Structures are given as structure tokens and as C-alpha cells.
Structure 1
Amino acid sequence: MTALGFLYPGRFAEDDYPRIEQLLGGDIRVDVVCIDVGEGAHRVDALRRTGEPERLAAAVEELRLAGVETVVWASTAGSFVHGWEGARDQVRDLARTAGMPASSTSFAFVHAAREIGVRRVAIGATYPADLTSLFTDFLRAGGVEVTGVRAAGAASATEVGTWRQEDVLTLARAADDPQAEAILLPDTALRTAGYVPLLEKSLSKPVLTANQVTAWEALRLTDRRVNAPELGTLFTREPVVQV
């Protein structure tokens, strides 16, 4: 049994993770600990507080007791608001506290893009423009070119948590860019676990979503690969050998 641990901010789309566990099948267990973040305001100051080391450290003990092998901070904005170096420090602190390999959703996007061999992406963000710009900067720091951006301007994760399939499709289509090799939907408050094949069929290109790449990142940290077509290209394509 491979046990994957996730620290999830709030209660907005955490039910994506049990669904992902079912889609992965086999001997994989998913454990999620939710951290109280109120309404999950999409503001830089609020998001910086969300990912403070003390908050993550207080929550990670439950995952340690559950016997997980890896832990991922399942917050894109709660990591990229610190910039590349700050997000790396955040992950290092989390790994040290947890005593196991750790990562975050922001790094998961960069690693996932490399995994499927794409260098040019378009972003469909639920966030306001200022946060979306910070995510764009983060991707570029990781060597990913951003060819197009759509910022929906949602004020909070609470708002995003009410979005349905058609809302997600609308955002992804609005974000699509002819030069982009893949579409990225970065908010972990956005339910997407059941929509990835539909999104990819609609756009005719890979789609990377926050909760999807977060689960993949946890598996990557354990050196496991799982073929799960219902979770999209990321879970079916052979890894690209970097030259």
C-alpha cells in the first residue's frame, strides 16, 4: 500500500481527492487533512498567511500518524505567492517537519509540464489578475513559457467551490491559445477530477488541473507511476526524457 498525504486549504474541493483515489485504483491510499482558511480570500496577504510554516507544521502531524510516505501542500496560490525561492523554502521546511519527501501544487505544475514534454502553456485561472500574474512568473522561473492567460477574477475559494462542469469548461476554452501545447487550471478549490478527459477532448490538447497534478506529484515523490486514463494525459503518457 502506498499512502499519499495532502494538506488542503479549507473545504472547497477536497472531495476531488477521494475521487482521485478511486480513479487510481489498486494499492494507493489518499489521506487529506484540511486546514481552516476561512473563505479562502484570493489576496496575496491572506495567501501568505495560509502557508505559514507554523500552520503547516500543526497540520502535518495528523498525516505522520496516518503513516503516509509523502506530503504535498495542496495549494497553488499558497505556494507561488512566495516566489520560486520562497516556495522552495516552504517545501524544505515542510519536508523537515514531516520527516518525509514534500512538495506543493505550484511545483507539481512545473514537474507535470516537463513530464508530458510541453514548454508552452496557457493559463485558465480563477484568480484575480494580480495573483494570475504571480503564477505566470512562477512558471517562467521553472522554465515554462506562458503564451496566454485568462484570469476569471473570483474573489475567494468559497466562490470557486460552487463552480460546476460547464463553468470549468468555459474557463478552459477561454484560456486556450493556438500556441499553447497544454492548458493549466491552477486552483485547488476548483473541482476537476471528474472532468479531465472531457476537457482534453474539448480542447484537443493536454489539460493539467490543480488537484490532478497534486496527486501525481505525491506519486512522483514515491517513484510510482500509475496508468489512469480517467485522469488525463498526465497519467497515461510515457515520461519525456530530458536532454
Structure 2
Amino acid sequence: MSFSLPVMSRLVAAALLGGLLLPAFAVAEDIEERITQRLQTAVPGLQVESMAPAKAPGIYEVRTNSGQIVYATEDAEYLFIGDLVKLENAGYVNLTEQARTSQRRQTINEHAKKGGLIQYAAKGEQKAVIDVFTDIDCGYCRKLHGEMDELNELGITVNYYGFPRSGPGTESFRKYVSVWCAEDPQAAMNKAKSGGAVKPADCANPVAEQYNLGRLVGVTGTPAIVLEDGTLMPGYVPAKTLARGLGIL
């Protein structure tokens, strides 16, 4: 079999390119393995979920099993915990917050596939979806819930995730479980949010998992609103203000 000169040239070029790329991949793998080993030796119990070169030269972004983002130098000699910020002519960009936002959206999307959410669907055309970590006994959560009809009329679908701030084993936590296990969870939620008593109930439920999810994605208080791009908005936001921020009004 013989090849023409152009074909042979392409084959040689491909072989040379492959030879150049293989060492680069090998070096990247060596760096990641070195960083992983150093981190796990220094911090027993820590697990590295993923790793990739950061936008700053010589730095790797490391995501741990606790959801935290940390940074390590390529030689694995230095580790820093905090936000990586890129300075620009007219300000700065928080690269770590960008990474958190992306990670938050991915994590919530994976969880949403399991179902188990108490949902209030948009009326008419759906223009936006928000995920809300909520506590039945939280005053501002109740204030936001009082605007549910307005949110739905504006075309916003609301997905509720349980986040009883007092944690598992508490009365507030059991109250959320009772709502979730009710024959009509949405009606039970409406009643509980208005201060009414909900009949105690128990069943296999995702409340503890949703609570842990909230902690994983950075929720520290309620209500906590997560937008479709993963942006976390802590605290109560009036319906119309939220709609304007979403570009609906």
C-alpha cells in the first residue's frame, strides 16, 4: 500500500501531534495525583471530588466531598482556602463564586431528578423556575409564601426544598415531615405556613436529604432562593423585585 505525499504529510502531522499531547496529559494526571495525595495526607478523611486547572497560572481548583472549593499549587506545596479573584480594568471577577454557582446548579439538578419536591407551578406560560430552601417556622419564609399566588401569576414556578433550620430531630423538622407526608402536601404546606396545625404524619421522606443538600450548596438561613443559573439569593425577596431581577417585568 502506498500513500500520496499530502496523505503522508497528514499522517506524520497527526503522529507528531499525538506525541506532543500524550506527555501533556501525563503531566496533568501526575499533578492531580500529587495534589490529591498531599491533601489526603494532610487532611485525613478529605476526599477530592474533582480537580481542574484554575484560571490563574500554576493553580489548581479542587472540589472536596464537603462541597468546598480550595486551591493548590501545581507542586502541591501550597494550599489556600478563600476566593480567587481576577482583577480587571474596571473592577474584578470572583472566579470562586462563579465556580460555586456552577457547582450549585449541577448539584441541585442531580438531586431534582429524584423528585420529592413540593412544587407550586406557574400559571400559564412558565417564564422562570426558582428553588427555595424553606423552613415552615421562619417568618420571612411565610412572608414569601404569602406571595406564592403572585409569583405563579408572574410565570414563576417555585420548588420547595425542606431546610428546617433547627435541624433533624426537632419539632420544626418533624413538622416539615408531616407536611411532606400529608395526603395533599401542598395544602398542608399552605396551612402550616399560615400558622395552622398540621396532623402529625410520618413516612419515607426526603427532608433530611434536602436539608443536607442545602448545607452542601451553601444555604445558611431561610428562605434561600436558587436561580436557574445556580445563583444563591439569601433572604426574602418581594415577588415583583424577584421578577424584575429575572427579567420578567
Structure of greater Rg = 2
Output the TM-score relative to the length of structure 1.
0.29
Q: Which structure's relative contact order is higher, taking Cα pairs within 8 Å and 6+ residues apart?
A: 1
Q: Where is the helix percentage greater, Structure 1 or Structure 2?
A: 1
